[in-house]
Chains A and B, each alone.
Chain A
């Protein structure tokens, strides 16, 4: 039974799909949420005139947005090459 399961299913491949999906799915959506958090906080703190905090949230937004955009580019390359 175990031999049959090993012959039919590539468990290594399956495990790779699982961890890359979790990393990509939870990771990228979390980074997107961080970008959104930064963007909304930037707007809020700008109104309060808190210069240093505005910059900090702005940097957070730019970095997180860049990471999301990089993952989109990686996704398009994956679609194109596979």
Chain B
């Protein structure tokens, strides 16, 4: 087997590993409020989200290959840079999962690629205006907009249903949560699986296995859909707990307002073509639905920790991406560097993951279902 092919396989496997962590990390966006309000049992909720993530990945391939487009100089991207970026994103996703903090997987990936590209070619490789306009401004807009929309939504909802009998009203909002959660899972599967499809397609084009401007082959779509849905099914329970109950103890109306508003904001941004992070949007929605009822209902300390994680995501993933790229270059430009880094990182992840899993889930069907 030639070195180019081994390098291609490493990049493809690493991209699928990122896709898995993306699903694993972002399960909370879709299911946390439904689990918290008991609209769905935990295992049913993650199964539902996993299936719809899988279906969503097949709905469109229109934005595949656009990751980091306009943010780093595309002609400077090599497989080693992509590898460094992926490792930066995976590592940051695992760090934030370890601490139960919801952060954007897309920002982690962009940060990782920017860091690796910077380490490879210096500041000229990074398009500052693209980074500001496509990442930083949307990162500020998403939570604020979702906060305002969810706050408005819950205020109107309480006005409309405030005097109704609580039993059937609560059951009705649970149905609404299942519906809005399904839309979020579909949108997440479509948007996020396409990033992995784009990276694998780019690697295949770089290795002359595909023509330039090709759509992702079917096996790439199927593998990306499977990886993100498997990750979703595994469920990042620590983040689910943070999003579902540590920020705010919510009722079914608040859960529906947070999730429905989050879905509306994400779909509006998709419709207009303005990229917003699912994680930032849903987190903002949860806080807005809580604060509109009573400002002190939101645990602002937890919210502050989440915001710190958001601020750190780009630089931390960039630092890890740059370090990984630097490490691989110690072994030259061939396959040896990524291979050694890949084996080392798999070992570290396996140890950390096993330790955390051994400590048990943060939420179980018995406690929450």
Give the B-binding residues of A (Cβ under 8 A). 7-10, 13-14, 16-18, 20-22, 24-26, 28-30, 32-37, 39-41, 43-44, 68, 72, 75-76, 78-82
Closest approach, in angstroms, between the C-beta of A75 and any C-beta of chain B? Answer: 5
> Which listed residue, A13, A37, A41, touches B274 by the CB 8 Å rule?
A13
> Which listed residue, B260, B267, B276, touches A29 by the CB 8 Å rule?
B260
Closest approach, in angstroms, between the C-beta of B289 and any C-beta of chain A? Answer: 10
Q: Does B311 sit within 8 A of A, measured CB to CB?
A: no
Question: Which residues of A lie under 8 Å from residue B269 when comparing CB positions?
Answer: 17, 21
B183 touches A72 (CB 8 A): yes
8 Å CB interface, B251-302 against A:
256-257, 260-261, 263-265, 267-274, 276
Question: Which residues of A lie under 8 Å from residue B141 when comparing CB positions?
Answer: 14, 17
B256 touches A32 (CB 8 A): yes
Segment at the A interface, from B19-27, B30-38, B157-165: B157-165
Chain A's interface: helix, strand, loop or mixed, by majority? helix
B268 touches A79 (CB 8 A): no
8 Å CB interface, B236-264 against A:
256-257, 260-261, 263-264
Chain B's interface: helix, strand, loop or mixed, by majority? helix
B169 touches A76 (CB 8 A): no
Q: Does B59 sit within 8 A of A, measured CB to CB?
A: yes
Segment at the A interface, from B40-48, B100-108, B142-150, B319-327: B142-150
- Other contacts beyond A13-B272, A75-B187, A79-B56: 10, CB < 8 A: A8-B137, A9-B133, A13-B273, A14-B141, A21-B145, A21-B265, A29-B260, A40-B168, A41-B164, A81-B60
8 Å CB interface, B129-145 against A:
129, 132-133, 137, 141, 145
* Interchain CA distance A79-B362 in the complex, whole Å: 32
Interface centre among A21, A34, A36 (most CB of B within 10 A): A21
A25 touches B168 (CB 8 A): no
A25 touches B133 (CB 8 A): no
Given known pairs A17-B141, A18-B145, A25-B152, the reply for A34 and B129 (CB within 8 Å) is no
B160 touches A39 (CB 8 A): no
> Which listed residue, A7, A9, A21, A33, touches B137 by the CB 8 Å rule?
A9
What are 24 A-to-B residue pairs whose CB atoms are below 8 Å? A8-B132, A9-B137, A10-B133, A13-B273, A16-B274, A21-B149, A24-B265, A24-B267, A25-B260, A29-B153, A29-B176, A30-B156, A33-B160, A36-B161, A36-B169, A36-B173, A39-B172, A44-B165, A68-B179, A76-B186, A79-B187, A81-B62, A82-B62, A82-B273
